[in-house]
Amino acid sequence: MSTELQNDRLLKALLREPVDRTPVWMMRQAGRYLPEYRATRERAGSFVKLMRNPEMACEVTLQPLERFPLDAAILFSDILTIPDAMGLGLYFVQGEGPKFERTVRSAAEVDALPQPDVGTELSYVTDAVSTIRKALDGRVPLIGFSGSPWTLATYMVEGSSSKDFGTIKGMAWDAPEVLDRLLDKLAVCITDYLNAQIRAGAQAVQIFDTWGGVLSPAHYRRFSLGPMARIVEGLIREHEGRRVPVILFTKGGGQWLEAMAETGCDALGLDWTVNIGEARKRVGDKVALQGNLDPSALNASPARIREAVAEILADFGHGEGHVFNLGHGITPKIPPEHAGAMIDAVVRLSPQYHHGG
């Protein structure tokens, strides 16, 4: 496994170190918008079989890098691997997304949840990480990830995705100590899981808090940010002779950026509802910022996409600490050449904002 990186722009930018241009990667960059991904998934038989096969997970992780000059690979996996390993029976329904056979709604059910042994029950994930690292051979860094405790809990309590999160929000009001216990259990497991990914070769990690933005400010701090801060505290921060940056991403979390920056993370992911220049003023030089083109902009013409990229680069302005990304994952119907137009625009337009790496 090569520890020498030919392109370490991403790791430098996440630590606010000088780079020659703004690094770029995309959430869900290995996904359904690519015909080659769809072909591999077809061969695997299902999303779950693909995710659990380290060689195939490696294949789809590398596919976008063959097409685009991206500055990072991100592990191909799913945020719900941990609740699945806790025995809740993850399955996917076409057009409806992930579902669980069993839910967790009472103190007894929380207490009965096993703490999975990451090394055995989630070894297909760490095997994928080490397989991908070997295949990358130092080309670009590899990002590992997990869902946040709150986001995983929403699926575990609701049993699937939800429009109003009524059951888990009811638990937050009526049985907050039960929810705290569930989130504590998840935080311990996620810390182990991300550390296992780092040991297997992940060079940066991101915590995806997809549903933190549905909470009130007080509940966000208690049920989402608090558990994420405990994870950040427990992570391996130096490995293979360099810092392992940690990115926190709360979709809909623009009002809490200052509090998120206090967790000790290295970077904050921004969704598209926040102006990146204003976000930069608010957090100062505490953390790097990642984002934040609205994924729907990729439906526009390539010329308009280039203008939208230019606007975000100008809003962030000169200096270090910007990783270009979408404000959420790329959607399945985007033409790959539109993603290419965005990436090309970052490569061409961003050097003017840097003094060189």
Q: Determine contact, residues 172/124, Cβ cutoff 8 Å.
A: no
Q: Please name the residue that has the structure tokens 């940066």.
A: 204
Q: How confident is the model at residue 150 (pLDDT cuts 50, 70, 90)?
A: very high
> Which whole number is the average pLDDT over 267-272?
98
Asked if the model's pLDDT at residue 357 lies above 60, the reply is: no
Q: Which residues pair with 160 in a beta bridge?
A: 99
pLDDT at 2: 66
Q: What is the pTM of this model?
A: 0.97
> Which whole number is the average pLDDT over 247-259?
98
- State how far the Cα of 264 lies from the Cα of 244, in Å rounded to an integer: 12
Binding residues for substrate: 28-32, 78, 155, 210, 328
Q: Determine contact, residues 75/85, Cβ cutoff 8 Å.
A: no
> Which whole number is the average pLDDT over 250-255?
98
Span 116-145, pLDDT tens digits: 999 999 999 999 999 999 999 999 999 999
- State how far the Cα of 252 lies from the Cα of 245, in Å rounded to an integer: 22
How far apart, in Å, are the Cα atoms of 88 and each of 46, 102, 106, 123? 19, 5, 14, 18
Fold classified for 31-281: TIM Barrel (3.20.20)
Span 5-24, pLDDT tens digits: 999 999 999 999 999 999 99
Which positions are annotated as active-site residues? Answer: 28, 32, 41, 78, 155
pLDDT at 169: 98
Span 210-246, pLDDT tens digits: 999 999 999 999 999 999 999 999 999 999 999 999 9
Domain ranges across the chain: 31-281
pLDDT at 356: 62
Among the listed residues 223, 229, 204, the one whose alpha carbon sits nearest the alpha carbon of residue 145: 204
Q: Determine contact, residues 309/24, Cβ cutoff 8 Å.
A: no
Span 41-88, pLDDT tens digits: 999 999 999 999 999 999 999 999 999 999 999 999 999 999 999 999
